[in-house]
Amino acid sequence: MAYGVHGMIFGGNVPVGKLDSSARWSGTLAVLISLTILCLMHWYNLTPLWRNGEINPYWIVFWPTFLLFATSLCSVSAIALVGLGEDRLNEAMKLSVLSVIIAGIALVAMLFDGYFTTAEEFRNALWLAAADILGTVLGVILAIAAFAIVIWSYEKSLPLPSSSPPPSDEEIKHVISIADSHIGGEEE
């Protein structure tokens, strides 16, 4: 997955660290293979299990969280590309398609039982993952807001700065000498 994301990003239209165009296609293939393996882990007998045959609880937390976070990240990135980027509609459409694919996987998992989990168990885990993600986002927003309020209130309590006196003739001559020593070129 990491190789695929790296290839998809740096094989495209980037100004720094651009890879050749084959990296974009191999990256896309790697991401699709990774998603296929993750789907097989849910709908086939590749599901991670404990020794006593129970499903690994970390998997049932990771899988819905990954699906929600990935589709949200792809959607927000596509909107940001269209809103903030110039001539990035093609890349935004690719991110939108990936977001729809991942959301489709989540919807199918909500409707059809996995190999060791039921659709109802997945839905419950999905709601808990949504609550975790929403709580994290709200916590970050509240932390930033609290930090901004503290800084704003502190700066508001400071007295207005006094005006500095104008530079003396000696200071002006010093600045001119520094500027002259750093500015090159021929005079006419």
15 pLDDT higher than 80: no
153 domain residue, yes or no: no
186 domain residue, yes or no: no
72 domain residue, yes or no: yes
Domain extent at residue 45: 2-126
pLDDT, one tens digit per residue, over 18-67 is 788 788 889 889 989 999 998 888 888 877 788 787 888 888 888 999 99
Better-predicted residue by pLDDT, 60 or 145: 145
Contacts with 119 (C-beta within 8 Å, 6 or more apart), sequence order: 109, 110, 111, 112, 113
CB 33 within 8 A of CB 3: no
pLDDT, one tens digit per residue, over 103-118 is 999 999 888 888 878 8
21 domain residue, yes or no: yes
pLDDT, one tens digit per residue, over 66-89 is 999 899 988 998 999 888 878 778
What CA dihedral angle connects 93, 97, 103 and 107, to 10 degrees? 140
Number of domains in the chain: 1
77 domain residue, yes or no: yes
pTM (predicted TM-score): 0.69
46 domain residue, yes or no: yes
144 pLDDT higher than 90: yes
183 domain residue, yes or no: no
The H-assigned helical ranges of 44-115 are 57-84, 89-111
163 domain residue, yes or no: no
What CA dihedral angle connects 74, 75, 80 and 86, to 10 degrees? 80
CB 79 within 8 A of CB 89: no
Pick left, alpha or beta for residue 114 (phi over 0 → left; psi -120 to 50 → alpha; otherwise beta): beta
